[in-house]
Amino acid sequence: MMARMEITQHIAAVQRDGEMLAAAAARAGLDATIPSCPSWQVKDLLRHISYVHRWAAGYVVEQRTERLRGRPSESELLAGGPPDAELMDWFLAGHAALVDALRTADPAMTCWTFLDAPSSLAFWARRQAHETGIHRADAELAGGDTTPFPADFAADGIDELIMGFFGGDAAALSPEQREGERQSLLVNATDVGTAWWLELTADGTSAVSVRRGAGPATCTLAGPASGLYLLLWNRAQQPATGVQVSGDSAVLESWRNGMRVTWA
């Protein structure tokens, strides 16, 4: 069973990867295209993540117990915010405010969340750590290669993705969606000794069930947690660094083409 990261570790990751994101964005320049998000330039990434940081901090600081309605569309979000020349300072201010909100929050406070977690604060610290980390990778890809993630952090992110996001999707499938042929995907993070197994629909785009642990699979991904983390979040080109794919690689392609994360 994998060890759970502490809230303080997640908050430290929010700070670390936010600072790395800013540095990568400055190196690449605001007009650089992001290969992992081809419709975005670096300035779009900064507007997006700045909004998310402020959105998340609001739940923690104000202890909102219900989801806010009327969030802007992506196009509205990318058209908003300050002028380009002020974007970096705006990002840095929002990032610092989020880190401060997480660090100073009462561990017993409650607010709206959307994945299972030991506490509201644990949820938001973890979610924003991985939101910031994955977008740090985007900023780095705009100018070159990504910096590998610490293995324990990457494994935690894989666990959130599979057991959190797609575990929730699996629970929500209708009986009709559960019928038919199955495929399976085994994700084996060899450097931390942790594996996850997913049973997928025949087209490989929806999880029927998920669990921690190994098992026979239609397709197996094995390698360092950082490479798997980036690959599963579609932030790595194939072959991902150090990741071996065995079995039916079409299952992985279905995942990469069809899986979508919705976080609100």
Q: Give the residue extent of every domain in the chain.
A: 7-141, 151-258
Distance in angstroms (rounded) separating the CA atoms of residues 20 and 95: 12
In tens, the pLDDT along 216-256 reads 999 999 999 999 999 999 998 766 779 999 999 999 998 88
CB within 8 Å of 119: residues ≥ 6 apart: 7, 107, 108, 110
Better-predicted residue by pLDDT, 241 or 111:
111
Fold of 151-258: Nonspecific Lipid-transfer Protein; Chain A (3.30.1050)
pTM: 0.95
Q: Please tell me what DSSP assigns to residue 159.
A: H
In tens, the pLDDT along 168-194 reads 877 777 777 777 788 999 999 999 999
Give percent of the chain with pLDDT exceeding 70: 97
Amino acid identity, residue 105? A
Distance in angstroms (rounded) separating the CA atoms of residues 129 and 151: 14
- Strand pairing report for 182-189 and 194-201: antiparallel
Specify the CATH superfamily of domain 7-141.
dinb family like domain (1.20.120.450)
Nearest Cα to Cα of residue 236 among 219, 224, 220? 224
Q: What is the mean pLDDT of residues 95-102?
A: 98
In tens, the pLDDT along 116-152 reads 999 999 999 999 999 999 999 999 999 999 999 999 9
- The CB density around residue 143, as the number of other CB atoms within 10 Å, is 16
Q: What angle do CA 200, 244, 211 make, to 5 degrees?
A: 35
Task: Report yes or no: 138 and 59 within 8 Å, Cβ to Cβ.
Answer: no
For residue 95, the model assigns a pLDDT of 98
- Strand pairing report for 244-247 and 219-223: antiparallel
Residue position matching structure tokens 């081809």: 38
Distance in angstroms (rounded) separating the CA atoms of residues 196 and 214: 6
